[in-house]
Chains A and B, each alone.
Chain A
Amino acid sequence: MKRLISSLSLCLTLSLVISPLAAAVTSTADDQGTDYRKQWHSDISTGYQTLAAQSQALKDQAETYCKAPSSEGLKQTRKAWLDAFLAWQEVRFVDFGPVEQGNRAWQFQFWPDPKNLTARKASYLLKDSAPVTAEKISESGVAVQGFPMAEYLLYDQTFSAGSNALPADRTCSLLVAVTRHIADNGANLANDWKGFESNYVGNQQYTDTTIRAAMAGLEILEERRLAAPMGLRGNGKRSVYNADAWRSGTSLIAAEASVRGLKNYFLPAFSSLLHDRKQSGLAQDIEQQFDEVLANFPELDRPMAPLLADDNAFRSLQSLYIDITQLTALVNDRAAVELGIVRGFNSSDGD
């Protein structure tokens, strides 16, 4: 409780320290900007390569399992799904560049899914008698093409108790086809990101774009992935169905991976930028706050549902939430204001 109070007072202090006159990042000498973007390009490339490799491993494991199903094989396929899913979480904040092409980000993870299209589409595809081809997956929409569909087939409790449960033939075909689609997307994304290098490094607007992407990633984490299932928004009811990856119970380990991805792939160049802008103190605060958030793990690498159901257990979730709100405040409010970066009411809505 004491920690909670001190955290909250820190939040208040932070929100008051605002410099009203901030120049935009893009006004920095551009050769410096080029250095930041070179580093971001290289760091994000590392993340994309990991995603490509883990997606390939998931596809291979799904094929192996479906050729000779066993309970151990199912376990290994779930593990391969999680490794690939976490590799995606690490780069999920990147919302620009090749991941925008063909809605790739949505293909990897269609979420939120309030109408449960994942289950509806699975049921529809499993009833259909036509073979589950790559074309079928390509034309079936983003709810079929990524990690949530594979998660549904591998983890959904109701589904796993029914007659279509793995390793049923048609379900196996669907699982293999979906993981192939994920692996193709992973390989193409890593490849296209390499080809994007000169456009990315050569255009100074991508500095702002990259920082905005991290800001949006943090905001989605705080608001949609945590506050919403914790009942801190909307009708005030706690519900794990508002979280992502609730079927596999990996909402929190996924949150950890997203923070780790921001730390590994975004923070290094961002820290350099802040240092160059005479914001070393702020850079240090942000680095420390990343560690504060990550210190909640691995203790919190647990399914979210039991934590929502028990007030005592809920406190550990609150503690994570507060650490993340502080990180968001440091990056999205303080650093963004210092750097003159705006994420607006109108600038992100697409009308």
Chain B
Amino acid sequence: MHELTRRSLIKAALAGGAAVTLTGCGMLPEKAAYKGARQYTGAIGLADGSFAVGAIAPDGKMLWQSPVSTRCHSGCNRPGSAEVLFFERRPGWSFYVLNSRTGERLHHIQAGEGEHFVGHGVFSQDGRFLYATASRYDPGEGIVAVYDSQQDYQRVNTFELNGTGPHQLTLHPDGRTLIVGLGGILTHPDYDRIKLNLDTMKPALVLVDSQSGATIGRFSPSHHQLSTRHVDVAPDGTIYAAYQYQGPAHELPPLIARYRHGRYEEIDLGESVHRKLGNYIASIVAHPENDLVAIASPIGGTALVFNGLSGKVLEQASIADCAGVEALAGGDFLVSSGRGKLVRIGKGQPAREIASMPVQWDHHLV
């Protein structure tokens, strides 16, 4: 299995090289090969306590808001279409399919019996199949639920993750490998958000073949309470994972891992930086145009950009309740916060606020 993983990743790295060339001509600043519209979408909380999904232009202008009945978390754009999906936050009983130009609701799909979503999904490159992380909550089994968008989002397959608490997933530039953050934390909808297995957690970064559903790679963090929640991948195939540490607040373990050239390593950003992250990273994004990686920690109120290869921190900004990160064309990042701020952060220039609006941005922008 190990050989297979390495081979497929080397192949992926080659494919990734081609992707760099394509995005080099000022195309959309997206990590995926395709994005339908030049806009960013996020789940929001409104001043009256209600919830919506909202889309903004890169200059921070709100394009539309689509009301939803409960708080959503993250979502994904469907390649080759004007559809954007958003998932209810954990335990998510449904996801919404919206017209990405207008916000009009096209579908509202319920989770399978005995299952709930966990807030994230990703499409196959051709835009047909949706892969959504989910949990069979009674036995506590993590799965990837597969839906066919060409059949009105019928459920067509289920991949076992052989572990608990999957969270974010993304698609490798090889177009085939799913990269899944397996948080390892057991929860149950009857028990609020109580973490039921902190002593016996088995978090992992899991690689799954999206065609066969087979697990082709599995990497464990250096401590069993480093919940591996968020993942991203650079066009050259370098994978990044961001942790949320479940141990005592005064301990400062590494919070980021990188997988490249067959090696899984953790990146230490240094104690002074770690103190500002509160052992919690809400988003990690590898920029498709350069070697930069951005993370945001709402607990630490800190967003920062580091060099993915050297681990050197290049820019930091204090942004209260920041969580969402997306890549901007030209090499910078956009960070959103629960206080309605949109901040541009990049290398060699101080972070600058580009918008402040009366909404609370939830964790992710897509």
Contact = CB atoms under 8 A, between A and B. Distances in A.
A110 B119 CA distance: 25
Contacts of B248: 97, 100, 199
The majority secondary structure among interface residues of chain A is loop
A306 B247 CA distance: 44
B338 interface: yes
Contacts of A97: 248
B45 A345 contact: yes
B275 A205 contact: yes
A266 to B, nearest CB: 18
Contacts of B89: 349, 351
Nearest to B246: A100
Of B195, B248, B301, B362, the most chain A CB neighbours within 10 A belong to: B248
- Place the interface of chain A in its size category: 20 to 34
A106 B195 CA distance: 10
A342 B119 CA distance: 24
Contacts of A347: 278, 298-299, 301, 321, 338
Nearest to B190: A115
B191 A346 contact: no
A234 B339 CA distance: 24
CB-CB nearest 10 A-B residue pairs:
A344-B321, A345-B338, A346-B298, A347-B298, A345-B360, A346-B323, A344-B338, A346-B338, A342-B320, A199-B250
Interface centre among A101, A106, A115, A342 (most CB of B within 10 A): A342
Interface string A78-110: 000000000000000000110011110010001
A54 B244 CA distance: 36
A65 interface: no
A347 B199 CA distance: 23
Interface of A: 96-97, 100-103, 106, 110, 112, 115, 117, 141-143, 199-200, 202-203, 205-206, 209, 342, 344-347, 349-351
Nearest to A105: B194
B282 interface: yes
A203 B282 contact: no
A350 B299 CA distance: 10
Interface of B is mostly: loop
Contacts of A344: 298, 301, 320-321, 337-339
Contact of A203 (B90, B250, B320, B362): B250
A117 B191 CA distance: 9
Interface in B175-227: 190-196, 198-199
A344 B296 CA distance: 14
Contact size class for B? 35 or more
A141 B138 CA distance: 14
A351 B339 contact: no
B292 to A, nearest CB: 22
B249 interface: yes
A343 B189 CA distance: 24
B31 interface: no
Contacts of B337: 344, 346
Nearest to B199: A102
Contacts of A202: 250
A112 B192 contact: yes
A351 B73 contact: yes
A117 B198 CA distance: 21
A155 B275 CA distance: 47
Given A206-B249, A209-B249, A350 B298 contact: no
Contacts of B172: none
Nearest to A97: B248
Contact of B195 (A96, A103, A206, A349): A103
Contacts of A206: 249-250
B363 A203 contact: no
A342 B167 contact: no
16 contacts: A100-B248, A102-B199, A103-B198, A112-B192, A115-B190, A117-B190, A203-B249, A206-B250, A345-B45, A345-B338, A345-B362, A346-B321, A346-B361, A346-B362, A351-B119, A351-B167
